[in-house]
Structure 1
Amino acid sequence: MINVHSYESMGTFDGPGLRLVVFLQGCPFRCLYCANPDTIDIKGGTPTPPEEILQMAISQKAFFGKKGGITFSGGEPTLQAEALIPLFRDLKANGIHTCLDSNGGIWNEKVEELLGLTDLVLLDIKEFNPERHRALTGRGNEQTLRTAAWLEEHARPFWLRYVLVPGYSDFEEDIRSLGKHLGDFKNIQRVEILPYHRLGVHKYEAMDLEYQLKEVKENTPEQLLRAEQLFKEYFENVIVN
């Protein structure tokens, strides 16, 4: 069984083309700006047979075109790597392109096997400075950077995703350090700068949780342009999403 939180059909933000997005339950990170706090607890969600997800993807395959496919997001999908491995094999056998949206913070032999089966990884790097990363997510970023290195070493294509949070992850020195660390990687196909937003605030209220970044305002166009210019000094294909 795979523990599913929800689905999005015809998604356009989580990988190339039109995609079926499967949001899985459970995440070890505690990002202060998390837009899906209801996905964090591993005990939530709906246990779902992998065959059900496979059939859903096959039924939507005609809409995917040449670029689209299925994306597993969350939460953190690598928490359920063992259950996903046979499903990814079946998806590949049916010619369906697979994406995995991951923070890269979990590593074991099952995660390694799953990444080896994935057509495209969307790797979320929250901050390069380890102390600021821990303040933002509650966890270190050492494994995320090791995951990036593994993807490069094994010639696995990936997109780098970076949420620009004013006062938390928009420091020029940290973006430059990230660029120097990863800028020579050949397998980063794209860098996506994701503007900070407050779309999940109502979920915190509904769950009777405090949203800790309520004083943080959304990015100005100037902040986004500056970040884009910085990233473009190190990476060829930079998109503000």
Structure 2
Amino acid sequence: MSTPTPGPVRPGRTGGPLTGAVHSYDLSVGVDGPGTRFVAFLAGCPLRCRFCHSPDTWYRRSGRHRTVDELMAEVAKYRRFITVAGGGVTVSGGEPLLQPRFTGEVLRRCHDLGLHTALDTSGFLGARADDALLDATDLVLLDVKSRDPATYRRVTRTGEIAPTLRFGRRLADRGTPIWIRFVLVPGLTDDEANVAGVADFAAELATVQRVEVLPFHRLGAHKYAELGITFPLAGTEPPGAELLDRVRGQFAARGLTVY
């Protein structure tokens, strides 16, 4: 993973180029959208999910100020490679819709180059995504943390599920392809009724192409230690094969393609 060095331009400078707080960028295969992808991780997130594996992206100050041109110069280094590999560019985070102008311009510039574009978001700030941003987005990776409002609050420690539901329906209404992501955490998100609610929501969206059931892991625990933060799920074990099969089966029973 690459971490950008500080740029010379401060965000919000009047008359200056558009800048964003970029935490890092990396190449990934098959986990942030189709094919090999350049993934830009933006800094800042309004949620504090108990299973978050990237607490180092929570605050915008953890990023480096980069202009759109500077980030696009990094994309250009890999443009031919990701095109040949059937990939594209994904803007992730943190939460990219915390910086909607920067995110929208990066997506537009990539789209204009003929690159496949994806937005990785919780949907909590979906109202900040204007039509121009979504017009430049070929795929939305929508992280649905829970369908039950009380469980959603326990997971995120803030916020409501309603904005994500509205955003998902808006995407479907405008024909935007969606991959639903659901993190399976034993004792937190695995309740059958909660899973059924997420599955019902995914099934009602005509543009959902797949559902990814992501098993909880503790690979980011060292980041909490480095930041001096207590990892809330330090004592939670990853889900076993039986639980994974049951949850994936609940989604498949709704006619959804499940991974």
TM range (shorter): over 0.9
Pick from 115, 125, 129 the counterpart of residue 144 of structure 2. 125
2:137 is aligned with what amino acid? T
1:185 aligns with 2:209: no
The one-letter amino acid of 2:56's match is D
Report the equivalent of 1:206: 226
The one of 58, 72, 92 equivalent to 1:54 is 72
Query: How big is each residue's C-alpha offset from its partner over 1:115-141, in whole Å with a ceiling of 9 and x where there is no partner?
Result: 232110000000110011001102211
* Counterpart among 26, 29, 39 of residue 57 in structure 2: 39
Correspondence for 1:168: 188
Distance across 1 between alignment mates of 2:116 and 2:160: 31
Q: Which residue of 1 aligns with 2:81?
A: 63
Moved over 4 A (4+): 109-112
The answer to whether the 8 Å contact 1:24/1:75 transfers is yes
Q: Provide the TM-score with structure 1 as the length reference.
A: 0.94
Offset of residue 110 of structure 1: 4.4
Residue in 2 that maps onto 1:149: 169
Per the TM alignment, residue 223 of structure 1 is displaced from its structure 2 partner at its CA by 1.1
Matched, 1:94 2:126: no
**How far 1:208 sits from its partner (Å)?**
0.5
| Alignment deviations for residues 42-84 of structure 1 (CA, whole Å, 9 cap, x no partner) | 2221111111221222221222226300111110001111122
Q: Which moved more, 1:119-128 or 1:104-113?
A: 104-113
Whether the aligned pair in 1 keeps the contact of 2:171 and 2:177 (CA below 8 Å) is yes
**Quick one: distance in 2 between partners of 1:198 and 1:111?**
35
Supply the AA of the counterpart residue of 2:173. Answer: E
Distance (whole Å) between structure 1 residues aligned to residue 127 and residue 63 of structure 2:
23
- 1:61-112 Cα offsets, whole Å, 9 max, x none, are 2222263001111100011111222222221111111111000001445444
In structure 1, the partner of 2:178 is 158
Partner residue in 2 for 1:75: 94
Give the secondary structure class of the aligned counterpart of 1:183.
helix
> 8 Å contact 1:191–1:235 — kept in the other structure?
no
Task: Return 8-17 or 218-227, whichever deviates more.
Answer: 8-17
Per the alignment, residue 105 of structure 1 pairs with 124
Counterparts of 1:114 and 1:128, CA distance in 2? 26
Give yes or no for contact 1:11–1:20 (8 Å, CA) kept in 2: no
Q: Between the two proteins, what is the percent identity of the paired residues?
A: 36
Shift of 1:225: 1.0
**1:25 aligned to 2:40?**
no
Q: Identify the range of structure 1 (57-66 vs 192-201) with the bigger mean alpha-carbon deviation.
A: 57-66
Return the letter of the residue paired with 2:231.
Y
Amino acid at match of 1:137: T
Unaligned stretches of 5+ residues in structure 2 = 1-18
**Aligned length, in residue pairs:** 239
Report SS of the residue matched to 1:98: strand
| Map of 2:15 onto structure 1 | none
State how far apart, in whole Å, the 1-side matches of 2:49 and 2:175 are. Answer: 29
Q: Note if contact 2:91-2:103 (Cα within 8 Å) is conserved in structure 1.
A: no
